[in-house]
């Protein structure tokens, strides 16, 4: 093509001549990783390595290939690609049909849009949904509004929407196991589309399905992606439950109770996934029928998989674990063949060591943050024993070094040694529900700030349901003060848990027992004394005294080798770590934990001032 000079371009502009546009003759090719040949080679490679991915035997049921491919199965990256794959075309049509059924929007002339009101854009999100065993259930397409372009006061006002707490969920599972109650799982289809929209909003037509009329969509329902969508859905669901006669919990706004005579049912809501804990099959069916009449529901029967947790039940109790999640995490970070270790961190680990070591490159910083984020979810759901490790690694999330990256990988290797290790809730012959707490602190454990580290855990019938591992907000001047601060944080959680279980119909008469291995802290909590070494303490920590005096909690001393919260405050040697796991109602990662150290532990009478600990042999905290 002949080159056109600037002088020629100016002449053409002055004379009104149009400069012909240059059209590239290059044929666009998709990247190699999207080609069918590459996908086939990846499939064959994973088939050959399948044995390496299956780290455990699931009672004779092996994982399918999709477990290894989970998170790596090729999903569309553009509308053009999705429209060329029949399964995704069908999925997108199903999504649009659900909008039509719900009356989510209507097409209107753009002239009706108020002046100055921005028409929001939208896009598609494509994901495979998986079964509890990791196999692919179906492709799922979601039409999502680009809520990041919304403006406060124009497109939305209030956005807060509560979700259920994990401690509440584990408490429900513990009650279900102890009392032998059924716990069922239901899912709301296209939940957000049920919410009524209060603001006047407009959206462009869905990409790939524009009819060419230049019309826009006037939104009538809270479509996915809108900032207010979760709130509008919660308000709609809350209204429906109130109509049935449920009462909202004062301890957890995502928990509801319905009590009539001797019948009781509790409902736990996490966005669009809900659990039903019921003592009556007839009442359970009534509630399911009511919900199905108000919303498009999917009845999943007895819960098997919930919020990334696998839930297994037999006559001995309920085990919750994250085998599938951990296997996928190991696969994602390339540690499927790594050698496992027996503890999350080496004894005496100091996150501030190697100060002179250079910072990681940007790409490795992102890898580190991804590992820590993945570990954090595991630690808040079924792996309390890694809480201290995650809290330490999180301190340097913005400025990690190679030392920290190796430590994060060590935690992954630790999880590999017990991918099915989880929390076991034992069936109770006498149908008893006993809540017990443990509080501990590591004095001046942070070598940089010299702040102490708090840790507490609450167990229901010998299995952990709530825990925390956290650096203290102030510098403690003594071990007594550090234990006292930790105890205050523990009792706050204990008071909340006691009221939560009262709503379930289980009153802990006489208070919740809390065990501490520091007698000075117990004495300080039970006696309002002032002297030179304690008079400086902030008033808020003396909340403990009020709760002790009111009978909300009962403080008991326990030896350090029976302190379940010890593993939440420091990195322990293997033997001590294994004992703590047993006390938390978990299976140790190695069968070589000395039985004499763990002991035969039973629930003893508090009236005799004896120590509560969890069972270990066969029928208790070990599966």
Q: What is the pLDDT of residue 136?
A: 87
Q: Residue 495: how many CB atoms within 10 A of its CB?
A: 17
Mean pLDDT score, 251-266: 94
β-strand 512-516 against 435-442: which pairing, if any? parallel
Q: How many angstroms separate the CA atoms of 601 and 366, rounded?
A: 44
Q: How many angstroms separate the CA atoms of 106 and 458, rounded?
A: 51
Percent of the chain scoring above 90 in pLDDT: 71
CATH 3.30.420.10 in the chain, residue ranges: 430-608
Q: How many angstroms separate the CA atoms of 584 and 457, rounded?
A: 8
Q: What is the pLDDT of residue 609?
A: 31
Whole-number mean pLDDT of the chain? 84
User: Alpha carbon of 589 to those of 59, 160, 364, 382: distances in Å?
Assistant: 18, 40, 29, 14
Residue 361 has pLDDT above 90, yes or no: yes
> Which residue has better confidence, 268 or 594?
268
Residue 25 has pLDDT above 70, yes or no: no
pLDDT tens string 498-541: 999 999 998 887 899 999 999 999 998 888 765 655 666 666 77
Question: What is the 8-class DSSP label of residue 340?
Answer: P
CATH superfamily of 430-608: Ribonuclease H-like superfamily/Ribonuclease H (3.30.420.10)
> What residues contact 258, with CB distance under 8 A and at least 6 apart?
244, 245, 246, 247, 264, 265, 266, 267, 283, 287
Question: What is the 8-class DSSP label of residue 44?
Answer: H
pLDDT tens string 579-610: 999 999 996 554 433 333 333 333 323 323 33
| pTM as predicted | 0.81
Q: What is the pLDDT of residue 600?
A: 33
Residue 611 has pLDDT above 80, yes or no: no
Mean pLDDT score, 204-210: 94
Residue 254 has pLDDT above 80, yes or no: yes
Residue 33 has pLDDT above 70, yes or no: no
- Residue from 277, 279, 235 nearest 256 by CA: 277
Q: Residue 11: how many CB atoms within 10 A of its CB?
A: 11
Q: What is the pLDDT of residue 500?
A: 96
pLDDT tens string 61-113: 333 333 334 445 689 999 999 999 999 999 999 999 999 998 999 999 999 99
């Amino acid at each position: 093509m002949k080159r056109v000079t600037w002088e020629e371009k100016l002449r053409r502009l002055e004379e009104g001549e149009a400069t012909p546009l240059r059209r590239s003759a290059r044929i666009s090719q998709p990247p190699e990783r999207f080609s069918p040949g590459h996908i086939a080679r990846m499939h064959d490679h994973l088939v050959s390595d399948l044995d390496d991915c299956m780290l455990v035997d699931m009672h004779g049921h092996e994982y399918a290939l999709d477990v290894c491919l989970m998170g790596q199965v090729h999903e569309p990256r553009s509308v053009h690609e999705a429209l060329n794959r029949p399964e995704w075309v069908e999925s997108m049509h199903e999504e649009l049909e659900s909008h039509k059924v719900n009356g989510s929007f209507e097409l209107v002339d753009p002239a009706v849009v108020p002046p100055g009101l921005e028409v929001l854009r939208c896009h598609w999100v494509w994901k495979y949904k998986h079964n509890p065993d990791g196999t692919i259930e179906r492709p799922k397409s979601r039409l999502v509004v680009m809520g990041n372009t919304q403006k406060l006061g124009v497109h939305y006002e209030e956005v807060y929407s509560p979700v259920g707490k994990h401690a509440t969920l584990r408490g429900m599972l513990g009650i279900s196991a102890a009392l032998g109650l059924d716990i069922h799982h239901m899912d709301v289809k296209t939940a957000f589309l049920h919410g009524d929209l209060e603001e006047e909003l407009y959206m462009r037509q869905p990409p790939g399905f524009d009819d060419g009329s230049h019309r826009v969509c006037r939104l009538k329902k809270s479509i996915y992606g809108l900032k207010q969508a979760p709130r509008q859905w919660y308000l709609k669901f809350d209204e429906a439950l109130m109509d049935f006669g449920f009462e909202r919990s004062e301890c957890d706004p995502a928990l509801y109770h319905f009590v009539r005579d001797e019948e009781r049912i509790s409902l736990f809501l996490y966005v669009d996934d809900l659990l039903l804990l019921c003592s009556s099959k007839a009442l359970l069916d009534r509630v399911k029928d009511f919900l199905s009449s108000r919303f498009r529901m999917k009845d999943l029967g007895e819960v098997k998989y919930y919020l990334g947790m696998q839930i297994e039940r037999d006559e001995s109790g309920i085990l919750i674990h994250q085998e599938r999640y951990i296997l996928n995490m190991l696969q994602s970070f390339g540690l499927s063949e790594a050698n496992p270790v027996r503890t999350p961190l080496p004894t005496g680990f100091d996150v501030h060591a190697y100060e002179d070591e250079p910072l990681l490159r940007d790409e490795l910083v992102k890898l580190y943050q991804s590992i820590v984020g993945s570990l954090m979810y595991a630690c808040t759901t079924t792996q309390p024993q890694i809480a201290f490790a995650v809290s330490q690694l999180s301190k340097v999330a913005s400025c990690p070094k190679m030392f920290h990256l190796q430590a994060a990988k060590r935690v992954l290797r630790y999880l590999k040694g017990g991918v099915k290790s989880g929390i076991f809730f034992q069936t109770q012959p006498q149908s008893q529900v006993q809540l017990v707490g443990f509080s501990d602190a590591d004095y001046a454990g942070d070598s940089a700030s010299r702040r102490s580290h708090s840790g507490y855990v609450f167990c229901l019938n010998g299995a952990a349901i709530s825990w925390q591992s956290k650096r203290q907000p102030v510098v403690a001047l003594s071990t007594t003060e550090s234990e006292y601060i930790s105890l205050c944080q523990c009792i706050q959680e204990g008071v909340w848990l006691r009221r939560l279980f009262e709503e379930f119909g289980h009153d802990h008469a006489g208070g919740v027992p809390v065990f501490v291995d520091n007698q000075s802290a117990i004495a300080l909590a039970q006696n309002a004394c002032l002297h030179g070494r304690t008079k400086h303490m902030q008033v808020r920590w003396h909340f403990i005294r009020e709760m002790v005096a009111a009978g909300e909690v009962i403080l008991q001393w326990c030896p350090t080798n029976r302190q379940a919260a010890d593993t939440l405050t420091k990195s322990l040697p293997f033997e001590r770590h294994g004992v703590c796991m047993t006390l938390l109602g978990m299976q140790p990662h190695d069968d070589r934990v000395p039985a004499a150290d763990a002991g035969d532990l039973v629930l003893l009478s508090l009236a005799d001032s004896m120590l509560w600990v969890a069972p270990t042999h066969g029928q208790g905290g070990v599966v």
